[in-house]
Structure 1
Amino acid sequence: MDELKHIARHAGVVLAGQLAVMAFGVTDTVVAARYSEAALAALSVGTAVYISVYVGLMGILQALLPVWAELHGARRAADVGPSVRQALYVCCLTIVLGMAVLLAPGPLLNATDVPASLQLEVRRYLAVLAWALPPALLFRLFSTLNQSLGHPRLVSVLQVGSLLLKVPLSVWFAFGGWGLSPQGAVGCAWATLVVNFALLGVAAWLLRTQRLYTPYALWRRMEPPDWRQIGAFLRLGVPAGLAVMVEVTSFALMALFIARLGTTASASHQVASNVAAVLYMTPLALGIAASARTSYWLGANEIGRAGQTAWLGLAAAGVIAAGFSALLAFSAPLVARLYVSEPVVLAAVVALLPWVALYHLGDALQAVALFLLRSYRITMTPLLVYGVLLWGLGLSGGYWLAYEGIGPWPALFQARAFWITSSVALGAVALLLTAILAIATRRATLQG
């Protein structure tokens, strides 16, 4: 019970910060919806591309959490600083890759048949976010470090505080005023850029001045690249990042394929995906907390306790997800009205939200299981599972159900086709990752 309380406290702090970050997306969705249906559609497509890039690269950095948590559990504080500085080289690589994609999104937009009428606004939106990516990834490294050391509070305080800056900036830049012309969806991107640099600046100041970081010797001159250690980071981080990218792209590419159904379909999907992303914040926080604590006990060579912690985290995620899914299914009209008021879009959103509720059940369990498997250094198998089920069954199946039909089911030509197949795919992923976790914890206990 004490372990569950520890996970709950850690997850609660992380959740507060993650919800604040998620509120960035909610703010932009509401602002774009009030600006115009076209702006909301452009935001939907642009966000899909950006999130695919950012979350995949973020997954590489987030996968380093067990490394520093184990050093913390083994009482090797002096080794944390050099390890973090080597991770900066990995972070720089992710920045270069991410900016290259965001500054040249044409091939992706053309391959997914995004209408030409949307492409110009989407390109402008992504060009701004390309420069918001470096501070976002560097701050993610700061966040991962704090979570691994059991100090997530500072990160959450910064994220919650940044929301006070993001909301007025998004409104101002989107609608204009005080000498600034209206910029629609692109204005939301400019607001994100300003906030990301502000967060990074405060994070750097905290690392320099706060005593809690002193034992880790973080603020030292950069050592030359240690290719052996960087290689170890990449072997852990790249499969983990690719797995997250497969998950997110299977989710985000839905927006690009749905775009051909028209602005109403894109707008309703943007709202549905935003609701799903908000719900995802709770299992994400639980996954981070449970993984950090599991890795801590593995570093302390308490193998049995690590396994118990892992299963506590997964069970908590399942119970909470069931409650949230039921609540969303029964309150779909109310939730939809929080986002949109236009009757046609409102009806389309209400039709999607019950499928979002089902989607969340599998999403929550697989998310926590994925984090826990990283603690046991298992990253390649989840990547294969994600590729086959999320891209194969979820995304490809959704395309066929939406536009071609599958067996006795005719083509729906509706956004819900993608949500139906993705819900089934995520449920299968959750079952498989849970089974792999059971094998991993049992094997570790026998070997320990």
Structure 2
Amino acid sequence: MNTELPLKKKSLRLATIVMPILITQVALYLMTFFDILMTGRYDTYHLAGVTIGSSFWIPVYTGLAGILMGLTPIIAQHIGARSRENVRPAVQQGLYVSIVLSAIVFALILFAVAPILGAMPLEAEVRIVAADYLKGMSYGLLPLFAYTALRSFFDALGATRVSMFIILLSAPINVFINYLLIYGNWGFPELGGAGAGYASAITYWLVFLIACSVAWAGKPFAQFNLFKGWGKISFIRWKEILFIGVPIGISIFVETSVFSAVTLLMSNYTTAVISAHQIALNFTSLLYMIPLSISMGATILVGQAVGAGQMRDAKHYSFLGVGLAIAFSFVFVAILLMFREPIASLYTTDGHIIQLAVQFFLFAALFQLSDAIQAPVQGALRGYKDVNMTFIMAIISYWVLGLPIGYLTATYTELGPYGYWVGLIAGLAVGAITLTARLRYIQKNKFN
């Protein structure tokens, strides 16, 4: 990395890293979207089953996969410090960790999901579909977690386009296998919602095999010889991965699970209110892919700069990420304020639900600025390997402040269901301010 790069070229470098990450994240998002869409066209009960199954799958998977994201700053700093000999053992130990994580989730699905589903007030057919969907997904756990480790390797080298091409190649294949297994086309068994789970598992194996072939023979990855000279399990390296990765994973789990909790609390309101809330949440989740991608790009570039001892560059990349995300947030606010009704109309033709969603979008617009600050600041802190404060603030922002404030506002004011969004906005604003202060402290006192 060249310390003499002007800010304009650093901005271009950041954009070059972030764009493939964004495309990858949207493609991953669309895979789950098509699972639900294609199952919905098959049967209402199967749609409900897949929706329930996804609500279990997404927080658990994203949280545990987040642990493997700890590899990204570790490898990025090795690359920046030109200690390439440490890259292979880091990736190999990450793959070992991925095996353990996949075993943990498989055990959870095998032993814990059935009792939880049994305790929920679900119709029997919905419960069966949810369990079968998760069972099908579980066969893809090992390649999914292992791929996450390899993706951290690709991304840490700045080769984010590799992950993008792999996912773009596999996404239409996933849709095609859904077509075969959900509906029973071309002589394949008609599995309904469970078919979406098995299709995802097959796709995960495909993704992993493609990633292995790229890491084995592709340039510049072949020089690292990732699959040669396998070392024994090193708990010292596991400790490094887990020390960074566990706070990342927990903070991601805390963030994703709080939205599931809000959705459950919304069950006190009408079906129309719940549907409108889901519309606003679904669309803002899509918008969030941009600050999330900028956050991941900041982790890579800050990590490489810190590894190379180029602290001025690290600081520049940190605040370029924040500035870029804020710029996009103003665009998102304008979109949400100007096109609320057309956006809601994409999801439903029910006029009452559209009008409720339009109101939710007002609060979603207020959500954007805090989200735009917090996400890239978190990414920059991870680049510095400073992850504990993000973990602590995730808990405080969402569960100590956001959810209680939301509950009290929803229960004791005239805002009703919109109060939950007020709580989340308040909690996220506190988190954004606190983490920005933490970033400034790290840059000034520990990496100056």
Report the TM-score, using the length of structure 2 for normalisation: 0.89
Q: CA separation in 1, counterparts of 2:366 and 2:109?
A: 32
- Figure out how many residues of one structure are paired with residues of the other and give that number: 439
Q: Secondary structure at the match of 2:220?
A: helix
Aligned 1:33-44 pairs, distance under 5 A:
33-35=40-42, 38-44=45-51
- RMSD between superposed Cα atoms in Å: 2.6
Q: CA separation in 2, counterparts of 1:363 and 1:109?
A: 33
Q: Secondary structure at the match of 2:309?
A: coil
The one-letter code of the counterpart of 1:64 is L
Cα distance change of structure 1 residues 169 and 18 upon mapping to structure 2, 3 Å threshold:
same
Q: Does 1:198 align with 2:200?
A: no
**In the alignment, which residue of structure 2 is the partner of 1:141?**
149
**In the alignment, which residue of structure 2 is the partner of 1:212?**
220
**In the alignment, which residue of structure 1 is the partner of 2:309?**
301
Match of 2:20 among 13, 19, 23: 13
Q: Secondary structure at the match of 1:385?
A: helix
Q: CA separation in 2, counterparts of 1:237 and 1:120?
A: 34
**In the alignment, which residue of structure 2 is the partner of 1:292?**
300
Q: CA deviation at 1:441?
A: 1.2
Q: CA deviation at 1:56?
A: 0.5
Match of 2:381 among 369, 373, 377: 373
Aligned 1:159-174 pairs, distance under 5 A:
159-174=167-182
Query: Which range moved further: 121-130 or 138-147?
Result: 121-130
Query: Which range moved further: 118-127 or 3-12?
Result: 118-127
Verify the 8 A CA contact 2:136 2:195 in the aligned structure 1: no
**In the alignment, which residue of structure 1 is the partner of 2:251?**
243
Q: CA deviation at 1:259?
A: 4.8
Verify the 8 A CA contact 1:54 1:133 in the aligned structure 2: no
Verify the 8 A CA contact 1:38 1:263 in the aligned structure 2: no
Cα distance change of structure 1 residues 327 and 365 upon mapping to structure 2, 3 Å threshold:
same
What is the CA deviation profile of residues 351-407 of structure 1, one whole-angstrom value per residue up to 9, with x for unaligned ones? Answer: 4333333333322321211111112222122212111220123234444555xx13x
Q: CA separation in 2, counterparts of 1:163 and 1:347?
A: 34
**In the alignment, which residue of structure 1 is the partner of 2:96?**
89
Q: Tell me, which stretches of 5 or more residues in structure 1 are unaligned?
A: none
Q: CA deviation at 1:265?
A: 5.0
Q: CA deviation at 1:52?
A: 0.5
Q: Does 1:99 align with 2:101?
A: no
**In the alignment, which residue of structure 2 is the partner of 1:47?**
54
Q: CA separation in 2, counterparts of 1:328 and 1:400?
A: 26
Q: CA deviation at 1:292?
A: 0.8
* Percent of paired sites with the same residue: 25
Match of 2:427 among 414, 425, 428: 425
Match of 2:83 among 59, 76, 80: 76
Aligned 1:314-353 pairs, distance under 5 A:
314-341=322-349, 345-353=353-361
Match of 2:11 among 4, 29, 33: 4
Query: Which range moved further: 240-249 or 29-38?
Result: 29-38
Match of 1:58 among 65, 89, 98: 65
Q: CA separation in 1, counterparts of 2:409 and 2:107?
A: 33
Cα distance change of structure 1 residues 262 and 116 upon mapping to structure 2, 3 Å threshold:
farther
Q: CA separation in 2, counterparts of 1:316 and 1:325?
A: 15
**In the alignment, which residue of structure 1 is the partner of 2:402?**
394
Q: CA separation in 2, counterparts of 1:94 and 1:286?
A: 26
Verify the 8 A CA contact 1:114 1:260 in the aligned structure 2: no
Q: CA deviation at 1:157?
A: 0.6
Q: Secondary structure at the match of 1:211?
A: coil
Query: Which range moved further: 91-100 or 77-86?
Result: 91-100
Q: CA separation in 2, counterparts of 1:228 and 1:364?
A: 35
Q: CA separation in 1, counterparts of 2:162 and 2:84?
A: 19
Match of 2:133 among 102, 125, 136: 125
Report the TM-score, using the length of structure 1 for normalisation: 0.89
The one-letter code of the counterpart of 2:255 is E
Q: CA separation in 2, counterparts of 1:248 and 1:159?
A: 22
Q: Does 1:438 align with 2:440?
A: yes
Query: Which range moved further: 179-188 or 85-94?
Result: 179-188
**In the alignment, which residue of structure 1 is the partner of 2:166?**
158
Query: Which range moved further: 44-53 or 391-400?
Result: 391-400
Q: CA deviation at 1:420?
A: 3.1
Q: Tell me, which stretches of 5 or more residues in structure 2 are unaligned?
A: 1-7
Q: CA deviation at 1:442?
A: 1.4
Query: Which range moved further: 48-57 or 322-331?
Result: 322-331
Q: CA deviation at 1:159?
A: 0.8
Q: CA separation in 2, counterparts of 1:317 and 1:89?
A: 35
Q: CA deviation at 1:148?
A: 0.4
Verify the 8 A CA contact 1:86 1:230 in the aligned structure 2: yes
Higher RCO (Cα < 8 Å, 6 or more apart): 1
Verify the 8 A CA contact 1:33 1:340 in the aligned structure 2: no
Verify the 8 A CA contact 2:396 2:427 in the aligned structure 1: no
Cα distance change of structure 1 residues 164 and 49 upon mapping to structure 2, 3 Å threshold:
same
Verify the 8 A CA contact 2:88 2:225 in the aligned structure 1: yes
The one-letter code of the counterpart of 2:441 is I
Q: CA separation in 2, counterparts of 1:184 and 1:268?
A: 27
**In the alignment, which residue of structure 1 is the partner of 2:4?**
none
Aligned 1:258-269 pairs, distance under 5 A:
258-259=266-267, 261=269, 264=272, 267-269=275-277
Q: CA separation in 1, counterparts of 2:177 and 2:427?
A: 38
